[in-house]
Amino acid sequence: MLYNFKRKNWPIINNVKLMPPNIPILATTATANSRVVDDISEQLGLNLLVLRGALARDSIKLQVIQLAHQAERLAWLAEYLSDLPGSGIIYCLTIADCRRVAQWLRMKHYDVAEYTGKIDNATREILEQRLLQNEIKALVATVALGMGFDKPDLGFVIHFQRPSSVIAYYQQIGRAGRALDTAYAILLTGSEDDEIGEYFINSAFPTSSEMVRVVKLIEESERGLTINEILRYANLSKVRVEKCVKILEIDGIVARNKSTYYRTVNLWKPDLLRFEKVTNLRRQEMAIMSEFTLTKQCFMEYISKELDDPYANECSRCANCTGEGLSTSIEPTIVREAITFLRRDFLEIEPRKQWPSGGFGNKKGRIPEDLRNESGRVLCIYRDAGWGRLAARNKFTDGYFSDELVDAVAELINAWQPDPYPTWVTAIPSLRRPELVLNFAQRLARKLGIPFHSVLVKIRETSEQKNMQNGIQQASNILGAFSVQGEVFADPVFLVDDMIDSRWTMTVCGSLLREAGCGPVFPLAIASTSGGGDTE
């Protein structure tokens, strides 16, 4: 019997332990440092024969290039992608970055395509074939392009950001140069890598308090709870609740009947050390990768030693060994082009079509079409290298959105040209900072040459939406918090806010405006705090 020890398959060990001891088992993994070997030994028993080969790949030339921010990485790709042999893969940490990088490179006349978990299987197969046949320069991919993809003549692997661990990095660069004398593995690294890595670590496992909360809710329920019912009572994201119940189900603490979870009679004591240990290991792995980007020793030797390769040695091929590599200089004019590109990478605000599961009061099921918002727009992703940093500084340091952002949003509207075109502007009100968005929206209206009317009023204080972790909590936080006062015009309107994440504030306020007789409502925000950051 054979098992591939990807982490998501580890619960199958419970089945292995039930097998007769005379059945031979082969456990395989692409990369196994001593920690992974110890983990497997702990699962399968100490009577384990470990066979390992050398990890160094003679064909791969490794190089790390330090760049200040995302615009410089885009500029480097535009300048030097054509210098790399054949076809390859450009790995990004998020779906949003895949889209951006691919769009930028296509604009610079490269034949590339994004490849993520959001793409349907038929399209993925077409893209894989195009890469296999060298009909495309690169796939810009998340980890969705992973194990099982084999192209022996893959000429290069580029990382647009630093991966989370040496294991992940080695597995991904190992796809290059399997049947070539020379292939390239280029790691671009910069300022936001630690921030992205920390986000992934913090979101990987539920905390002990989250686990206790979910167990208590299920335990106190008479008929069990569905995921949506848990979300109604617990301010946790759906992803984190799903992780909680999955772990609890594996540990036998809850049982599921269709979509409902029930508490079992098994005693439960939160294994705090278990999650703390894994989280600490991931932080150590992130620190090791950070060190890797700064090391002066042989890159391949560094990786091999970190993966406990007994054959680790200098490769004599990487940029550190030879003192040579692809150029790290970038043309300032291309950097400025990349900044402009990022500043014009406007995001869509898709209208919500359903009220949260279970509804609130008379708001249930589908949102009627005549009460829905139209498709809206966001200027930037919060703190990105386009307008995002200025937006963050203006909001939290300056306390005032600059005229530069007013001009940028006006340019967005000019490029967008919503139809029917709004004839007036209104804004989402705030009790904490009543002038911030109001002042911005008034100046935007003057810039557009249309009137501003303050018709929305906030009638009760709410928690900040960024602290609400799921759609049910976000909608509950907002419903009943706003009202319409004064004359509402029947013409189309721009509904302005500074930051947008869940879209519930826009959805509720837009619905109120439509109920009051307003024409089509077009949401408009300065920055998105979510940014489409899915990892697969």
Q: What is the mean pLDDT of each run of 10 residues along the chain (536 residues)?
A: 44 67 74 71 72 80 95 97 97 93 98 95 95 97 86 96 92 92 95 80 80 94 94 91 92 94 91 77 91 96 92 94 95 96 92 84 87 96 88 94 97 96 97 95 98 96 86 87 92 97 93 97 93 55
User: Contact at 8 Å (CB) between 225 and 257?
Assistant: no
Same domain, 145 and 249: no
CATH number, domain of 443, equals 3.40.50.2020
> Within a domain: residue 144?
yes
Same domain, 399 and 435: yes
Place of tokens 């893209």: 127
Same domain, 28 and 138: no
> Within a domain: residue 438?
yes
Same domain, 162 and 250: no
> Within a domain: residue 286?
no
Same domain, 170 and 185: yes
Task: Check residue 209 and give its pLDDT.
Answer: 86
Same domain, 330 and 192: yes
Q: How far is CA 272 from CA 208, 211, 240, 268, 303, in A?
A: 6, 10, 16, 12, 31
Same domain, 164 and 255: no
Question: Which residues, listed in sequence order, are joined to residue 157 by a DSSP beta bridge?
Answer: 89, 185
> Within a domain: residue 279?
no
Task: Check residue 535 and give its pLDDT.
Answer: 56
Same domain, 142 and 248: no
Same domain, 190 and 211: no
Residue 437: which of 509, 525, 501 has the closest Cα? Answer: 525
Residues in Cβ contact with 210 at an 8 Å cutoff, skipping those fewer than 6 apart: 234, 236, 240, 244
Q: In whole angstroms, what is the distance from residue 198 CA to residue 144 CA?
A: 21
Residue 482: which of 520, 514, 508 has the closest Cα? Answer: 508
The DSSP code for 176 is: S
The domain boundary residue, chosen from 274, 302, 324: 274
Task: Check residue 352 and give its pLDDT.
Answer: 95
CATH number, domain of 191, equals 3.40.50.300
Task: Check residue 484 and give its pLDDT.
Answer: 96
Task: Check residue 386 and give its pLDDT.
Answer: 85
> Within a domain: residue 27?
yes
User: Contact at 8 Å (CB) between 477 and 450?
Assistant: no
Same domain, 456 and 409: yes
Find the domain containing 164 and state its range. Answer: 60-197+292-334
How many CA atoms does the CB half-sphere of 407 hold within 13 Å?
3
Q: Domains in the chain: how many in total?
A: 4
- Using the Cα atoms of residue 233, residue 236, residue 237 and residue 242 in order, give the sign of their dihedral: negative
Provide the phi-psi class of 342: left if phi over 0, else alpha when psi is between -120 and 50, else beta.
alpha
How many other C-beta atoms lie within 10 A of the C-beta of residue 433?
12
> Within a domain: residue 535?
no
> Within a domain: residue 138?
yes
Place of tokens 């594996």: 250
Q: In whole angstroms, what is the distance from residue 192 CA to residue 73 CA?
A: 12
> Within a domain: residue 284?
no
CATH number, domain of 265, equals 1.10.10.10
Amino acid at 338: A
Same domain, 261 and 370: no
User: Contact at 8 Å (CB) between 160 and 89?
Assistant: no
Q: How far is CA 244 from CA 202, 248, 388, in A?
A: 14, 6, 33
Chain Cα centroid distance, residue 471 = 18
Q: Is the peptide bond before 420 cis (omega within 30 degrees of 0)?
A: yes
Same domain, 454 and 394: yes
The domain boundary residue, chosen from 303, 334, 365: 334
Q: How far is CA 286 from CA 69, 165, 176, 315, in A?
A: 19, 6, 23, 23
